[in-house]
Amino acid sequence: MKKLPTRKKGRLIIVAYRLPFKIIKNEGGTSLFQNSGGLVSAVLSLAQGNDNTSFEFEDKIQWIGYTDNTAEELEGVTLENDNFRAHPVFIPQELNDNYYEGFCNDLIWPLFHYFPTLARFENEFFEAYQEANLLFYDAMVDVIQPDDVIWIHDYQLMMLPDMIRQKFPKNKIGFFFHIPFPSFEIFRLLPSIWREAIIDGILGADVVGFHTNDYVEYFLKAVRMVIGQGSRMHYINLNNRLVKVDAFPISIDYQKFNDAFDDPKVVQARHDTRASLKEKVIFSVDRLDYSKGLLHRLKGYERFLEQYEEWHGRVSFVMMVVPSRDQIEQYQQMKSDIDQAVGRIGAKYGKINWQPIIYQYRSMPFEELVGLYTASDVALITPVRDGMNLVCKEYVASRKDEQGVLILSEMAGAAAELGEALIINPTDSQDIADAIVKALEMEPDDQRKRMIAMQQRLREYDVFAWTNDFFTQMIMIDQEHTRLKTKYLTEKDISQMSEAYAKAEKCLFFFDYDGTLVPIVRDPNDAVISDETREIVAELAKRDTVVVISGRDRKFLLEVLSDLPVHIVAEHGALIRKKGEAEFTMNAAYQEGWKESIRPILELYVKRCPGAFVEEKETSLAWHYRTADDHEYALRRAQELAWQLKNYIEPELNLQIIEGNMVIEVKKTAFNKGTSATAFMDEEKYDFILAMGDDTTDEDMFEALPDWAYTVKVGDALSIATKHIKNQNAVMELLNSFKK
């Protein structure tokens, strides 16, 4: 990855549900046992002066997280080791039950893993979730310093980014989501207030990361549907700031797993495993959870045994299930179903000297885990839904011998990166059975080819590259922000501009109409240019080239502008009337014949949304909803329509969807305000250019102009224009400065 020139300084604050170590109090004092999970090692790489990162972190990493110790137990205890300084969050038991067990694990976890029937929608869960997020916030208020960078993790803390943003608007905040973000059909099952709180909460961050592009897309759709906010190139422009939403597939410490292959303890564990098992070994490792597809996996394995008798007695399936949440009835039930299935399969196919499944319910030390990975011929990783899944990545990384076959569920985020695996559908037993045989019979050369390809990818994008990527985006957003930042025109700017104008020989002005030359009014037909503005535009147009460039149709623009000596561009560049000419001419790039396929979609949405209507312009179709009976409802429909159009229009039609003020418009991509502006610039050589506009469509125009041109955004929304003026009232003031 390209290194950025500037490295920012400040401290790193990590916020995750749990602290990275267990706090054990004994007679000799307090000991901290640091966890060795993926996040901890990733974060450590940042602290230990990883030269590649865009930040240079000062001091120890501050980690804010829940502890089950009480405040009294920890009083006077220094909670830090060489790497971390911990700031514990104390959550009373009952609150934690409703927050963590309730909202997080009985609602968000099942819902976001596509198990809506297991989700419990309880009001007290939601209240507890807000309250607990506030407790995290409270624990941070005194910790945060001006240059600190805050990185918040996962579905337990979705409201926290915005809470921090409100109080600390200048600190950089990142948010990473470790589980799947579901499609909108699932997300919309949440009550609307909860949905909004979640979206608003997450958007408090500067950078929001997910594992895959699908999750990014689903999140962006949720943002659009819930708060009506669109995005451009993964940036959400919240007017006063930007949020970058992107995919950062979490990875592992590749080298650690690869090196472990030769660790004597791992070598021993590998030999032990192989010595006690049959010719071929298949394994799986997961926490006890319905998302991991444990029962489906057993069914698939059973189908394999049923159909491929030649493998009886020659293969062992080691299924390790790591205890998790087994105090909860549902998990106990799942465990007992697994016990039964394993028992049934064993009884049906097992022999005195052969157990088809070796099932263990426990966790293992690292060396034993890697021993199992490296002893196995096949990894059978078949979650029905998994944000990423690290076990499969660890398996690939640990295979220094470049042998072994990965069977991987298409429902795991990791499937997007590990295309050389045998990809299966976890609910399809036959698919699993066939993949097992294919894996068992795969030639060593084929195994090697696939392993090498996957290893290369994981080596390049390991957990350190992952953190680096995320933090680089945190810097990049600053650059993007600086580029778009609102800089108001000062008196000095105005006098410089008018001086440049006075000196120039050939001047060109581009004016947007609504919101620039006239104020925005409720009824668009009332948007008539005032006498004062008319006078000054007329005066400019006598000396210079003036282009009024608008999305309006030609009829309206002619009515309001025909007596002015200006060029008129209608329908975002599709129609042009040159000064002095009577008629508009159609942009040469315009091709007829597309409206027939789009009009029925817009009309369907009119039926669905009382009060909305379709306007047919010459070169575009517009779905207006400012006249809708219920604005909030109409906004939702508008978002759905825009989404549908964007996703289902055939690319060959070359259409563009513009979301304007209370209108969704469809038009040809071949032209926009930018291409029109360019056409005027190409006609003559100008030494002074000024463009003014308030709308998102004016961004195309600003972007098309040369760097030396003056571009002025009316209003304070982030824009590519070099300067802003507060509102439409200020336009006159600026125009007056060009009087000669």
User: Under the rule (CB under 6 A), what is the footprint of ligand GDG?
Assistant: 38, 178-179, 250, 285, 287, 322, 363-364, 366, 369, 386-391, 394
Nearest in space to 423 (alpha carbons), one of 442, 405, 409: 409
158 three-state secondary structure? coil
Q: Please identify, using beta-carbon distances, which residue of 38 and 426 lies nearer to ligand GDG.
A: 38
Asked if residue 208 lies in contact with residue 219, where contact means CB atoms within 8 angstroms, the answer is yes
Token pair 């390790």 in the structure block, residue: 320
Rounded least distance, CB 260 to ligand GDG, Å: 11
Catalytic residue among 106, 148, 431, 512: 512
Count other Cβ atoms within 10 Å, centred on residue 502.
11
Asked if residue 198 lies in contact with residue 158, where contact means CB atoms within 8 angstroms, the answer is yes
Nearest in space to 584 (alpha carbons), one of 610, 561, 614: 561
Rounded least distance, CB 408 to ligand GDG, Å: 12
Cα distance between residue 437 and residue 456, in whole Å: 26
Rounded least distance, CB 400 to ligand GDG, Å: 17
Q: Please identify, using beta-carbon distances, which residue of 406 and 433 lies nearer to ligand GDG.
A: 406
Q: Please identify, using beta-carbon distances, which residue of 225 and 288 lies nearer to ligand GDG.
A: 288
Cα distance between residue 261 and residue 259, in whole Å: 5
Q: Residues 372, 347, 437, CA angle at the centre, nearest 5°?
A: 50
CA 434 to chain CA centroid, nearest Å: 35
Query: DSSP of 1-30, one letter per residue?
Result: -PPPS--EEE-EEEEEEE-SEEEEEETTEE
Q: Please identify, using beta-carbon distances, which residue of 411 and 484 lies nearer to ligand GDG.
A: 411
DSSP state of 489: P
Rounded least distance, CB 150 to ligand GDG, Å: 19
Rounded least distance, CB 560 to ligand GDG, Å: 57
* 329 Cβ contact list (under 8 Å, min separation 6): none
Q: How many residues does the chain have?
A: 740
Rounded least distance, CB 172 to ligand GDG, Å: 21
Q: Please identify, using beta-carbon distances, which residue of 388 and 548 lies nearer to ligand GDG.
A: 388
Rounded least distance, CB 365 to ligand GDG, Å: 6
Rounded least distance, CB 9 to ligand GDG, Å: 28
Q: Please identify, using beta-carbon distances, which residue of 286 and 695 lies nearer to ligand GDG.
A: 286
Cα distance between residue 295 and residue 340, in whole Å: 10
Q: Please identify, using beta-carbon distances, which residue of 245 and 390 lies nearer to ligand GDG.
A: 390
Question: Which tokens sit at 355?
Answer: 């157990």
Cα distance between residue 6 and residue 159, in whole Å: 31
Q: For residue 723, what are the CA distances in angstroms to 690, 700, 712? A: 11, 15, 5
* 92 Cβ contact list (under 8 Å, min separation 6): none
Tell me whether residue 512 is one of the annotated catalytic residues. yes
Q: Please identify, using beta-carbon distances, which residue of 285 and 602 lies nearer to ligand GDG.
A: 285
Query: DSSP of 333-376, one letter per residue?
Result: HHHHHHHHHHHHHHHHH-BTTB-SEEEEES---HHHHHHHHHH-
Cα distance between residue 514 and residue 560, in whole Å: 12
231 three-state secondary structure? coil
Catalytic residues, which ones?
Answer: 512
